[in-house]
Amino acid sequence: MQHDAHAHHDHSAHGTHDGHKGHEGHEGRQEQHGGHHEGHGAHHAPGKASWSMAARATLHCLTGCAIGEVLGMIIGTALGWGNMETMILAIILAFFFGYALTLRGILAAGVDFKTAFKVALAADTLSIAVMEIIDNGVIALWPGAMDAHLSDPIFWIVLAIALAAAFVITTPVNKWLIGRGKGHAVVHQYHH
C-alpha cells in the first residue's frame, strides 16, 4: 500500500527531493502525472468510480460466469439432464469460476486463503448474482433457447445475447458498488 501514501502525498513540500525531481509546480501537471494516480485513487475513495473501472470489474465476473455457464451446459447435456438441472449446474459453476478468478489474483498477492475467500465473496457475490439472473432470464424467456442443443447455432447466439445483456445491466451495479468502496474496490487493494 505504499502507492496510497504516494498518491495522496503533497509533492510541493519537497521541492527537488530525489524521488520527486521535476515535480515542482505539480498541481498544474495533473494530465501528465495525475492520470495514473487518479485511476488508483478512485478505487480507494468512495464516490469516484469510473465507467471503465466498472466495465473491467464486470468483464472479470462475466469471464468466470461464461466459463461456468458453458461448462455446466456441456456437462448437463452430455449427461442427458433436463433443463432445470442443467441450468442449476451452470449457475453453480458460474459462481465457482467467478470466485475462482478473483481468488487467483488475491492469493497471488500473498493473502491467506480464508481472507482471500472472504474478499472474493464480498467482491463478486452481488455482481455474479445479477449477471446470472439476467443471463439465465434471457435464455429461459427466449423461445426455443432452452431446448436448443450445443450444436444448434441458436444456442450460441442466444447465449451471446444473454451474456451481452448481463454485461450491460451489471456494469452500473458494479459502478455503484465500487463507488461505495465495495465490490471490486475491495479486491484492488491486493493488486499493488
76: its cell numbers: 448437463
Cα distances from 149 to residues 56, 58, 161, 162, 163, in angstroms, run 31, 28, 16, 16, 18
Contact 56, 188 (CB under 8 A): no
Q: Which of 6-20, 35-49, 87-101, 118-132 has the lowest mean pLDDT?
A: 6-20
Stretch 61-88: mean pLDDT: 92
d(CA 24, CA 64): 45
pLDDT in tens, 158-167: 999 999 999 9
Q: Is the predicted pLDDT of residue 20 greater than 90, yes or no? A: no
pTM for this prediction: 0.70
Average pLDDT across the chain, whole number: 77
pLDDT in tens, 122-162: 888 999 999 999 999 999 999 999 888 888 999 999 999 99
Contact 128, 96 (CB under 8 A): no
pLDDT for res 47: 55
Kindly state the DSSP code that residue 26 receives in the 8-state scheme: G
Of 59 and 36, the one with more pLDDT: 59
d(CA 176, CA 174): 5
Stretch 157-179: mean pLDDT: 92
d(CA 185, CA 167): 18
d(CA 165, CA 184): 20
